[in-house]
Structure 1
């Protein structure tokens, strides 16, 4: 599975396949009695669980059992590696002709995998259409576009949705990108991004780190950022500057900084790792986290819309705050 994922990436293929029930070389359909759901792996684990835990960083694959030409076929479908090799319990493999070999023996192929930069956000979701986008999010996007591009403000009203999204670079020749679904998609459209997870979770904890409340927020993130911020208790505090008798009122946290941190978590999340963005509120701090990974040799931005960061944890304390 590691070899197939890495080979698929090197060859620019959308998937890699492992097929049981078809003979090598001749491709004759012979059928199979192999049942992956009944097989046990090391430690008595079910085979799919063991495979999923061992394949890193994404562990993403699908299994299918079906009949073809009257014979039972079992097919494993794996996703290609993205910007780093896929390893199986620490070992990366690759296809060499019809054989499997360790990737470390092919340094040129390993370098090619590390140097590949796939802009996940710019990839087109083939199943998505304009109907999967929320109308209120589109209205908000148009308003923001007019503010950022005043020279085109007069033209925006005459654009239909397809034209506007192309101008805003959220679609590619009419194809709905992952970024468009994240920012403007209806809540139910998040399933189109699978196996990626598009969700922000707000958690409220007490001084003993016990959960008091929580809420999940799905797309459209362009609107739901404000709903996340509304859940954060940003109290008004009063300070008395030296040399005056008049107190100054301040919010406990700077709203602009909180919004910027949340925007960064959305933009720099590695959605392929299937993790969620978390906003954890405690009596004395806010903690923003997302998941991602640095490229080997340091992080270098390359994406037009979203970049991959290592696990980001930003902690805010009441004023004066620090990161």
Structure 2
């Protein structure tokens, strides 16, 4: 439920406690996240509020894109991976906001670490957790039952779709060719048991999800098994939609066929030809793997649908539940199957039916397909107990993507991190360090740039210059020359003079701050003087 300012006032009517922490600004982000870790390691969780003094006075703070990026980067430091619920509550008649972050361990995964250390909360104090307590919590970590393996009461084979069972037999035979002839002699129930979709003749949740009749989806209640496809135009308006339920073994393919996989044409400079390359907008494997991964790892108990949103040049897949491997870097770095699955029974059945690869290899294949096609890599958003992956079906920058795809000394992890720099997504300090070591980036966090020598190789010289901008002396000379010509200029006029010349990588707040710093610099050098204050101030050359 969305927080209101009244909710915040009621929450802070009590003092800081073992479940409540105030921080005046995100300048105290690290200390705040240490407390968030302590809340996760407690029984009832807690609320962390930025924009409230330690005396409980609501002041709010300015929330910029940089603020949100810093919070997202900090959240990536939790282990096991955790995404808290975050709300930004605006103050009345103000641009300031209070940031409300709720931490609670609902999955029984404590102890949690932040930046490699476990924390605990006693009264209103946060401290590093003693090792004996940490090991005790580790041993008591609650094993989560596999929802997909649970038996559906009173369900029988009559609740399964015969066409879906026939399709499962075909897929099983193609996967297990050595058993194909023998499988032909099995009756349906024997096949389902052998394929590990049922257990000793009893119908599982996984069996209903994959093979159940449309009306059998009700047997999963309150869980939901539905896939929703939405078609949107360039303005984001919904043009069409379709919702499919059980059986997913058939309806996943039906959703796949709804997606318009048109031909995409482009000139590939690698081959130095005037004739365009022609490929499908989306590699079929990537579509199927993204969709079937969502089916395998959806948290069905949360009652949400699996969504496939089709735009003109991208597909967005989303499912409920946290990302089990914790981060994409873990998948790319550890080229091995994941040891833990949310729906282990369902996932194993889907692997046996050739619906998905193991999670590690499947995602890596998706990344490599996009890289080989010179398209942006899959873009994962792992927040608020929700997994979203965006597949872009075109080249954003042909030269950049082409050279990276054929750069033999770059690993897939390095390409993925560099891809995030290009897209303006958060990059960790560790990633920044090794990208700098290879001289691939420059600039200061969060305003990172593809390094100049790389930009020149990629024919991105103008983009690089637009992002980096000019030396301060250039802007100062512009101000001084304009004052000499016009005698005086208001702050508004100076802003208009410089605005389009400032680096493109700066947001509006950063540009205004940059202009203010330039004026302060010239004033301290006794070159200009301000005879009033505010946006309507008048600046003059100092005589």
TM-score (norm 1): 0.62
Give the 3 Å change call, closer, same or farther, for CA 296–287 of structure 1 in structure 2: closer
Q: Conserved in 2, the CA contact under 8 Å of 1:82 and 1:117?
A: no
Q: Distance in 2 between matches of 1:127 and 1:167?
A: 21
Q: Distance in 1 between matches of 2:301 and 2:139?
A: 19
Q: Distance in 2 between matches of 1:159 and 1:300?
A: 31
2:156 aligned partner: 129
Q: Distance in 2 between matches of 1:134 and 1:113?
A: 42
Q: Distance in 1 between matches of 2:326 and 2:257?
A: 39
Query: Given the alignment of the two structures, is residue 301 of structure 1 paired with residue 340 of structure 2, yes or no?
Result: yes
Alignment equivalent of 1:312, drawn from 360, 373, 387:
387
User: What displacement does 1:304 show?
Assistant: 3.7
User: What displacement does 1:313 show?
Assistant: 0.4
Q: Conserved in 1, the CA contact under 8 Å of 2:217 and 2:246?
A: yes
Query: Given the alignment of the two structures, is residue 197 of structure 1 paired with residue 224 of structure 2, yes or no?
Result: yes
Q: Distance in 1 between matches of 2:326 and 2:173?
A: 40
Give the 3 Å change call, closer, same or farther, for CA 191–226 of structure 1 in structure 2: same
**Which aligned pairs between 1:45-124 and structure 2 lie closer than 5 A?**
83-84=107-108, 114-124=141-151
1:53 aligned partner: none
Q: Distance in 2 between matches of 1:320 and 1:139?
A: 40
Greater Cα shift, 242-251 or 311-320:
242-251
SS at match of 1:208: coil
Unmatched 5+ stretches in structure 2? 1-84, 86-104, 110-133, 328-337, 349-358, 360-381, 397-418, 421-543
Alignment equivalent of 1:152, drawn from 179, 193, 212:
179
* Larger Rg over CA atoms: 2
Q: 1 or 2, which has the higher helix percentage?
A: 2
SS at match of 1:117: coil
Give the 3 Å change call, closer, same or farther, for CA 135–266 of structure 1 in structure 2: same
Alignment equivalent of 1:290, drawn from 311, 319, 336:
319
Report which structure shows greater RCO (CA 8 Å, sep ≥6).
Answer: 1
Q: Conserved in 1, the CA contact under 8 Å of 2:197 and 2:346?
A: no
Q: 1 or 2, which has the higher strand percentage?
A: 1
Q: Distance in 2 between matches of 1:147 and 1:128?
A: 28
Query: Given the alignment of the two structures, is residue 164 of structure 1 paired with residue 191 of structure 2, yes or no?
Result: yes
2:289 aligned partner: 260
Q: Conserved in 2, the CA contact under 8 Å of 1:84 and 1:113?
A: no
TM-score (norm 2): 0.38
Q: Conserved in 1, the CA contact under 8 Å of 2:206 and 2:345?
A: no
User: What displacement does 1:108 show?
Assistant: 11
Query: Given the alignment of the two structures, is residue 181 of structure 1 paired with residue 205 of structure 2, yes or no?
Result: no
Alignment equivalent of 2:167, drawn from 140, 145, 157:
140
Q: Distance in 1 between matches of 2:323 and 2:314?
A: 26
SS at match of 1:202: strand
Give the 3 Å change call, closer, same or farther, for CA 297–314 of structure 1 in structure 2: closer
Q: Conserved in 2, the CA contact under 8 Å of 1:137 and 1:184?
A: yes
Q: Deviations over 1:86-118 (max 9, x none)?
A: xxxxxxxxxxxxxxxxxxxxx999878852221
SS at match of 1:115: coil
Alignment equivalent of 1:250, drawn from 279, 297, 305:
279
Greater Cα shift, 273-282 or 286-295:
286-295
Q: Conserved in 2, the CA contact under 8 Å of 1:82 and 1:116?
A: no
Query: Given the alignment of the two structures, is residue 217 of structure 1 paired with residue 244 of structure 2, yes or no?
Result: yes
User: What displacement does 1:170 show?
Assistant: 0.4
RMSD of the TM alignment (CA)?
Answer: 3.2
Q: Conserved in 1, the CA contact under 8 Å of 2:264 and 2:394?
A: no
Unmatched 5+ stretches in structure 1? 1-56, 58-80, 86-106
Q: Conserved in 1, the CA contact under 8 Å of 2:151 and 2:204?
A: yes
How many corresponding residue pairs? 224
